Amino acid sequence: MNPSNQTPATVNETVNGAGTAPPVEPRPDTAPKPRERDASPVRRVLPGAQDLALIGALVVLCAGFTIASPHFFTEANLINVLRSVAIIGTISAIMTLVLISGALDLSVGSIMGITGVLAAVMMSSFGLGPLTACAAALALGVVCGLLNAFCVVRLRINPIIVTIGTLALFRGIAFILTDGREIAVRDPFFDAIGFDRWLLLPVPVWVMLAVFTMAWWIAKYSVWGRTVYSVGSNPRASRLAGLPVDRARVIILAASGLAASVAGLLMLAQGGIAVPSAGTGYELQVLTAVLLGGTSLAGGEGRVARTLVGVLIIGVINNGMTLLAVPSYYQTVAGGVLLLVAVAIDQARRGAGYR
């Protein structure tokens, strides 16, 4: 049976992010997949079970590291954890909406790179002020997102493929812009963003929290949020019901580009230096966080608040391993394992793996 049958809502929509390739050969033993088999009553009675599991995992991790290292549970370190996840968190909040809408954006890491570089070039080569540079960078992020959207909506290419392409494209341009060099940025405005604190927390953490709040509010309370869920759940039915499916996709991918450019600027501010390779691989960390939060790759399902917990789990694991002096190679391994765990949870939850 065609594996895409496991996600009935998107079966006929190849433009959809979850579109799976047709199987090479029909297999006899995988007749209609039973969603029902796993829809256990427990899950219906206790809608909070998944939240509890997530928060439980976070608490257990924190407890473990607290026992293992005296430095973990200190104010300074906990703020460190938050600071370290601010960048991926900012992107993850919007990426949750992207996945809910049934799309995927793998180009966010490259957009971080290209926008950071643009801001730096505008200041160092053209002598523009930091605010103008930031505005240009944010605009570039939106343009990148719109380019992705154009390919998805007009050229009808699967978003995964589109953003694999633009991942390389944007990164390449970032290198061309600087000729491969790094550009130092010495500017009080950027220093303030990177290192100041408001009410205890670093500015980037506030930015992340603001973006999360916005995404959460949109998903839950806005009409547009309903449209996003519906488009992800069944684009065909949504279009026939009169919803602006294409417009929703354009807005969501543009927003994703914007969030990535915000993240790129945060990174520039924290590092004080624009590197064309900045943000490489971040798309996978972001995806890990979103999937850990239980958002489905198939679209139509997901909670922004859970993604925040997913982000924190990643931050705590990375931080804890650094405190325990785990070599960075092993940290990379842990990242991979985490991604697999996240996807396995997604599959198990929907009760239909690739058997």
Ligand X SMILES: Nc1ncnc2c1ncn2[C@@H]1O[C@H](COP(=O)(O)OP(=O)(O)OP(=O)(O)O)[C@@H](O)[C@H]1O
Chain residues binding another protein by CB under 8 A are: 1-2, 4-5, 8-9, 11-12, 22-23, 25-32, 34-37, 39, 41, 44-45, 221-224, 226-227, 229-230, 233-234, 236-244, 300-301
Candidates 141, 138, 144, 142; CA nearest to 163 is 144
Between 35 and 186, whose beta carbon lies closer to another protein?
A: 35
Between 128 and 161, whose beta carbon lies closer to another protein?
A: 161
Between 34 and 336, whose beta carbon lies closer to another protein?
A: 34
Candidates 255, 264, 259, 260; CA nearest to 121 is 264
- State the residue number with the nearest CB to ligand X: 36
Of 28, 29, 32, 36, the one binding ligand X by CB under 6 A: 36
CA–CA separation, 207 and 131 (whole Å): 16
CA–CA separation, 150 and 228 (whole Å): 18
DSSP-assigned letters across all residues of 19-44: --PPPSS--TT--S--HHHH--HHHH
CA–CA separation, 265 and 96 (whole Å): 21
Of 21, 31, 39, 241, the one binding ligand X by CB under 6 A: 39
Least Å from the CB of residue 76 to ligand X: 49
Q: Residue 32, interface with ligand X (CB under 6 A)?
A: no
Between 39 and 210, whose beta carbon lies closer to ligand X?
A: 39
241 binds, among another protein, ligand X, none (CB under 5 to 8 A by kind): another protein
CA–CA separation, 94 and 219 (whole Å): 10
Q: Residue 75, interface with ligand X (CB under 6 A)?
A: no
Which residue has 């643009």 as its token pair? 118
CA–CA separation, 150 and 140 (whole Å): 15
Between 43 and 181, whose beta carbon lies closer to ligand X?
A: 43
Interface contacts to ligand X, rule CB under 6 A: 36, 39
